[in-house]
Amino acid sequence: MTHTVVVADDDPDIRALVRISVTRAGLHVVADVEDGAAALAAIREYDPDLAILDVSMPELSGIEVCRAVRADVAIGDVRILLLSASVDEAAQREGLDAGADYYLAKPFSPRDLVAWLSVGKEAR
Amino acid sequence: MRALLRWVGRHLSVDRPSPLVKQSATVVAVGVATLIVLVVPEIDFTNLVTGLAGLAIIAGATAIAAIFTRVPRLARYALLIPALDILGIGAFRDGTGGTTSLFGSLVILPVVWLAAAEGRRYIVYAGLGTSVALMLPYLLSLTIPQTPPEWLRGVFAPLIFATAAGIINELARQSRVQMRAISQMADDKEQMLQKTVEFAAQLQESERKFRAADRMFRGVWAAVTEQSVIGTDVTGLIDAWNPGATRLLGPTAAEAEDKLHIFDFHVEDELEARARELNYPPGATVLNPGFSALVESARLGHAESREWHYLRSDGTTIPVLLSVTARVNEKGEVIGYLFVASDQTQAREVAKLKDEFVGLISHELRTPLSSILGYLELMRDDDEHPLSTEQLQYLGVAERNAHRLLRLVGDLLFTAQVESGKFPLDSRDVELESIIASSVESAEPAAAAAGITLVREGSAGPAVVFGDPVRLGQACDNLISNAVKFTPRGGTITVSLATTATDAVITVKDTGMGIAASELDQLFARFFRASTATRNAVPGVGLGLTITKAIITAHHGEMDVQSEEGVGTSFSVTLPLAAVSATA
């Protein structure tokens, strides 16, 4: 079975970079959106195994999406990876408190992301 | 009152009547006597010569009295006049019947004058004068009284006159004493009156000055509209309230003064938090504990500026920078406090905007850098189309420069955080030896490449400080990488750690190009670059030392630098040891 992933980032280049990394790790991108509201809709629609969310996005921030997902009992067990350009430790803590499983600071290494995704896939 | 005192002084004085006025009584009496002699047939001059001589003497005495009246400085010889009168009356008596004369009693008039003079001796003079006057018939005829009545006439009557003179003398003396007392009192009153007048003038002058100062003060007080100035007594009851306070907080002076307390305008939670900070046991003060906390420093004599929130009458709060000072009386006792507050809303707004701007810039710079670095890595990792060695080399340059940009963004963001006071420190007990070891280790490759010997000198014992290991590591990295950058090939960098009783001291010493003495004090300023750095084309933007210093300061440490141009530079960092900082 292929693992499904929803990717959300307002920067198309970063989104493409994430897509490439996800694909390289052998996972399947089911939706690729550019704002928080669309991300939440896609998660509801596809019930993916993983959501990779940028923290600062229009409409809803990654953290708000994260909270909404965790608060919605209709949404199944989805792992969430937050991506952020902020290096602030408080922001990172806020993300994890909102229910994210992992927090990756930009700029990230695609190599590391692929490795993390691969390990996560095996753990399933 | 003054007029009455003057009147008393002028009219009751014994010594004031002029000699001529005093003489007038004698002149009138002798005049009447002469008239009697001329008019009454039975009474006539018995001896025309002595009678006329007597009148002449009295006329002379009157002339002298007139002169003395005109020339006041001769007044002290005035008693010559009654003396002459006595002699004149003696002669007149002799000329009008001698011992049988009607006019012996006239002598009483000059005797009274003489007797009233100041001094007991005039009693004797009056007695002797009378005696001479009454015995004048014998003296003039050069005969000696034969019978006892004749003798007694020269003794008895003068004795009576002398007695009368004594009484008059005493009465006059008493009167003089009283007059002097009255006169003294009058003088005293006059002086007091004078003083009162002068005092009133002084009072008027100081009142004028006070009014001018008051006007000045009121002008300034009313002009300060950008600051709220509030005065209270020692219990916090407001007794002064300027227009700035009305503008900032709402109530007018009339609504606030003597009615409201300063702590009515403070957020209770803030006051309580401050009271807790100062470790006030609950109920320790009779005053509002929040108020005590508010004035704590001022009460101890230190003016204090601190950020608080004021509560406005419309219920909103406003951030203020508040300076509290004690008001003291002339004895130096605290009688109240003065609260000067300035609105910080704008300053906060600016700080917030700056934070947002820095955050935005940082985010906007990091996002494209993420793409650059990510895609470069994808190129490097493309196993299907491997790059040539040359291409990989080009890629390395691009990656190195992208990382350099990224570091710069990080440093800028960090500097901004330091400035806005948001300095995240994740502190714990840290062993400095290991931090220095890892910093030296990570600098080894760069030092080796630059042909520099990196020497590490260990400490005598463990040096544990309470701090953030990441930030302390960053500080050490900065100092060592700086030393590497500024030391020419063949040089040596020595990193050492020493401890004192209270502190740990890290020293990074190089044999580099050094820093000019004139530039040492600017060394820690943001974006400062030493002239030796620009001259030798050492890369950098001048944030490293600013950040290092900020980290050390946040750890309650100190930084010091010694340098000699062309010889080398030595940076030392002093940090309080954990055991010490825990008890401090």
How open is the CA angle B112-B114-B115, to the nearest 5 degrees? Answer: 60
Average pLDDT, integer, range A91-96: 81
- pLDDT tens digit sequence for B127-156: 888 888 877 777 777 777 777 777 777 778
Question: Do B334 and B328 touch, CB atoms closer than 8 A?
Answer: yes
User: Considering only CB atoms, which chain B residues are within 8 Å of A87?
Assistant: 410, 413
pLDDT of residue B540: 65
pLDDT mean across residues, chain B: 84
CA atoms of B108 and A120, how far apart (whole Å): 151
Lowest mean pLDDT of A10-24, B24-38, B247-261, B300-314, name the range: B300-314
Tokens of residue B109, six digits? 């008039």
Pairing of the two strands B453-457 and B334-343: unpaired
pLDDT of residue B534: 67
Average pLDDT, integer, range B201-224: 91
**Residue A91 touches partner B, C-beta closer than 8 Å:** no
User: Considering only CB atoms, which chain A residues are within 8 Å of B424?
Assistant: 88-90
Question: Do A25 and A121 touch, CB atoms closer than 8 A?
Answer: yes
Average pLDDT, integer, range B243-250: 90
- pLDDT tens digit sequence for B277-301: 777 766 555 567 778 888 888 888 7
Q: How many helices (H) and strands (E) does chain A have?
A: 5, 5
Given a cut of 60, whether residue B13 has pLDDT beyond it is no
pLDDT of residue B196: 93
Q: How many CB pairs under 8 A join A and B?
A: 52
Average pLDDT, integer, range B503-510: 88
Given a cut of 60, whether residue B582 has pLDDT beyond it is no
Question: Do A32 and A23 touch, CB atoms closer than 8 A?
Answer: no
Surface of A (54-73) touching B: CB under 8 A: 56
Tokens of residue B559, six digits? 């930084």
Full-model pTM: 0.50
Instruction: Determine whether the interchain pair A86/B363 forms a contact, defined as Cβ–Cβ distance below 8 Å.
Output: yes
Dihedral pair phi/psi, residue B238, rounded to 5°: -70, 130
Distance of CA A99 to the CA centre of its chain: 12
Q: Which three-class secondary structure state does DSSP give residue A101?
A: coil
Instruction: Determine whether the interchain pair B424/A90 forms a contact, defined as Cβ–Cβ distance below 8 Å.
Output: yes
Question: Do B466 and B428 touch, CB atoms closer than 8 A?
Answer: yes
Q: Please tell me the distance in Å from A108's CA to the nearest CA on chain B.
A: 7
The DSSP string of B426-457 is --EEEEHHHHHHHHHHHHHHHHHHTT-EEEEE
Among B282-286, B556-560, B576-580, the range with the most confident prediction by mean pLDDT is B556-560
Tokens of residue B434, six digits? 């290991």
Q: Is the peptide bond before B82 cis (omega within 30 degrees of 0)?
A: no
Q: What chain A residue is nearest to B372 in terms of C-alpha separation?
A: A107
Average pLDDT, integer, range B92-119: 83
- pLDDT tens digit sequence for B358-383: 778 877 888 889 999 999 998 988 88
Band of residue B584 on the pLDDT scale cut at 50, 70, 90: very low
Q: Please tell me the distance in Å from B379's CA to the nearest CA on chain A.
A: 11
Question: Do B266 and B308 touch, CB atoms closer than 8 A?
Answer: yes
Greater confidence (B26 vs B97) lies with: B26
Q: How many CB atoms lie within 10 A of CB A101?
A: 15
Question: Do B97 and B44 touch, CB atoms closer than 8 A?
Answer: no
Given a cut of 90, whether residue B190 has pLDDT beyond it is yes
CA atoms of B247 and B245, how far apart (whole Å): 5
Given a cut of 70, whether residue B14 has pLDDT beyond it is no
pLDDT above 90 as % of chain B? 15
Q: Which of B530, B531, B447 has the alpha carbon at shortest distance from B489?
A: B447
Q: Which of B577, B416, B575, B573 has the alpha carbon at shortest distance from B483?
A: B573
- What is the enclosing helix (H) or strand (E) of B401? helix B389-419
